Amino acid sequence: MRVKSSVAALFLSAASGLPAQAQMSSEYTQLDSQTNCTVFAQAAEGEGDWANLVCDGWRGYPVMLQYSDARESLYYGYPPAGDMAPVWESFASFNSTGPTIEWRLEQRGEARVPVATIHRWFVSTGEGDDVQVLVVEKVGQPFEREGCAMAYVMSTGNPDANEKARNYADNLVHGFSCGDQPAIDAGSVPLPEFTRFE
């Protein structure tokens, strides 16, 4: 799967040490579906195994969690307006997300705005072991309700995966439109198959 040249160029400029457009920092929140999430829709008896939850994020920015058949899809920030639900983005294999979300914050004058997240996923290989993937997401803003995966960085078998994920987060977010091909940094372990459904 090839990354668009414009996306690759943005990351290469970041990796070369060129200054970022804005000062960036990180803060962390915890995701626990039992304590800081509210179920707003779920399967009735005999309708399968699915649920939709809204969870606490960073300072009023919500996290939308969709669960179905031992797979998760997450959306960070303000969701699409009206009846549109966030797109389903997940992995084809059984999966789950870790408890810690890293929010990349952009300094805008006196304010800090969360523009991207980095979240660790545990994806089944079907052979009794999980691989770990850092998924880098664009955060939906109050007036631009567009959020989606921008990059997939394998954590298993990929040295400096956290720093690579931050580079993608900081340098893709302003040039990335949902629907573009996400960047992939697989290291020595293949990235599990991922899915996106409108």
Domain ranges of the chain: 5-197
The predicted pLDDT at position 4 comes to 41
The predicted pLDDT at position 7 comes to 40
**Where do the DSSP E strands lie in the chain?**
24-30, 37-42, 50-58, 61-68, 71-76, 88-91, 95-108, 111-124, 130-138, 148-154, 183-185, 194-197
Do you know the residue count of the chain? 198
Neighbours of 50 (CB within 10 A): 13
Give 175-189 pLDDT, tens digit per residue: 999 999 999 999 899
Residue 13 has pLDDT above 50, yes or no: no
First-to-last alpha carbon distance for the chain, in angstroms, is: 20
Percent of the chain with pLDDT over 90: 81
> Given pLDDT bands bounded at 50, 70 and 90, which one contains residue 197?
confident
Model confidence, pTM: 0.88
Give 70-93 pLDDT, tens digit per residue: 999 999 999 988 766 789 999 999
Residue 124 pairs in a beta bridge with: 130
Average pLDDT over residues 154-180: 97
Summary mean pLDDT of the chain: 89
**Where do the DSSP E strands lie in 13-91?**
24-30, 37-42, 50-58, 61-68, 71-76, 88-91
Average pLDDT over residues 87-115: 97
Average pLDDT over residues 113-121: 98
